Amino acid sequence: MSRKQMVRPGGRSARVQASVHSAVRELLAEVGRDALTVPMVAQRAEVTPSTIYRRWGDLTELLSDVAVERLRPEGEPEDHGDLRADLTAWAEQFLDEMGSGSGRAYIRDALLGDPDGGNAGRCSAYAAEQIDTILSRASGRGENTPALEETMDGIVAPIMYRILFRPAGLETAYARRLVADLLDAYEESAR
Amino acid sequence: MSRKQMVRPGGRSARVQASVHSAVRELLAEVGRDALTVPMVAQRAEVTPSTIYRRWGDLTELLSDVAVERLRPEGEPEDHGDLRADLTAWAEQFLDEMGSGSGRAYIRDALLGDPDGGNAGRCSAYAAEQIDTILSRASGRGENTPALEETMDGIVAPIMYRILFRPAGLETAYARRLVADLLDAYEESAR
């Protein structure tokens, strides 16, 4: 079970997490990842290093935690009035954000310091929630939609796979094509 | 450019790589990843630590290199006489191997110590070569086949995405379904 679930909002534990996370974000910007150390973070966050080791285990787990927070979507996906437009806009933005230099760094951090896989699961859950919102909205309009898992496999998985394993020449057009292929195949099969 | 490309087969450099790689594999089995250190590997491989730092940079890059070697397919994909059978057997084996405890550990190692993305690219190239062999074999039999990239997106990407981000409940039936969905949609569109 991930440490985050032990955090009581508003409690001391939540305040410590907030100050440690912002100390990491500040120091990443100031000194960079390679120079970052737990004592440095502890000093900036005004906690003891042992507080950090106790809660996060080590620096890579702390960086993973901070990365997942940065990968959390900022709001609901935009509503463009139909499923194809909504998914296309979302997939383009997802590829641009995740495929950017900082996006890749956060994904790597999230995966690396993640012994129990909980942080990687949170990244995936963020994408699933956004797509679920888009699909539910479309059903609400009376549109037929592919299933959530099918959409994750058809759009999210290929984008993340390429970002991690084959980043060369990854372009927004790729996201558009994935959405078109998924929906064309779905409509074909629904006929 | 990755260090591996500077290795001349049979030369001293190749002998050093071979002995360092086998030292790492032995020590991973004996003492485990957490206890592993560069001096420990150097002593076992009978090279100086500086030789290792010079060639691999650090332990995570060395582990990444060793992991990619372990992820290299051992031979050609089996020939079951038709595309659907070949892809299904390959995808089932790929999921079983990559999704196993050691498979996941190697994939993580390969991704982590991989600043230039070369090792992740090699993992992906291994899968692409195997699938290309299966597709070419099918074309040779006169079967129509989806494109290589389409097949990577439809089978390899979802399997690797789930292994890294949503490993819970990942079963062989999932690999079979991905192959069936890809080929059904392809045949549908080819009509």
From CA B39, how far away is CA B36, in angstroms rounded?
9
Instruction: Give the tens place of pLDDT for each residue, B30-52.
Output: 998 889 999 999 999 999 999 99
Tracing tokens 């954000």 back to the chain, one arrives at: A97
φ and ψ at residue B171, rounded to 5 degrees: -125, 160
pLDDT reported for residue B105? 86
Would you state the pLDDT for residue B1?
38
d(CA A21, CA A41): 9
pLDDT digits (tens, 9 = 90+) for A48-100: 999 999 999 889 899 999 999 988 998 999 999 999 999 999 999 999 999 99
What is the overall mean pLDDT for chain B?
90
Contact at 8 Å (CB) between A123 and A156?
no
Distance in Å, alpha carbon of A81 to nearest chain B alpha carbon:
27
- DSSP, residue by residue, A58-85: SHHHHHHHHHHHHTS--SPPP--SSHHH
- Determine contact: B5 vs chain A, CB below 8 A: no
Collect all residues with Cβ–Cβ distance below 8 Å to B145 and sequence separation of at least 6.
B83, B135, B138, B139, B151, B186
Q: For residue B78, give the DSSP letter.
A: P
**pLDDT at position B11, please?**
81
Question: Do A189 and B189 lie within an 8 Å CB cutoff?
Answer: no
Q: pTM for the full model?
A: 0.89
Distance from C-alpha of A178 to C-alpha of B173, rounded to nearest angstrom: 23
Looking at the complex, does the CB of residue A167 fall below 8 Å from at least one CB of chain B? Answer: yes
Taking CA atoms, B169 is separated from B89, B146, B165, in Å, by 20, 28, 12
Tens digit of each residue's pLDDT (9 = 90 or more) over A93-129: 999 999 998 898 889 889 887 767 788 999 999 999 9
**Closest CB from A120, A165, A184 relative to B165:** A120
pLDDT by residue (tens digit) across B65-77?
A: 999 998 899 899 9
B-chain residues near A121 (CB < 8 A)? 165-166, 168
Domains assigned to chain A: 3-57 (1.10.10.60), 75-190 (1.10.357.10)
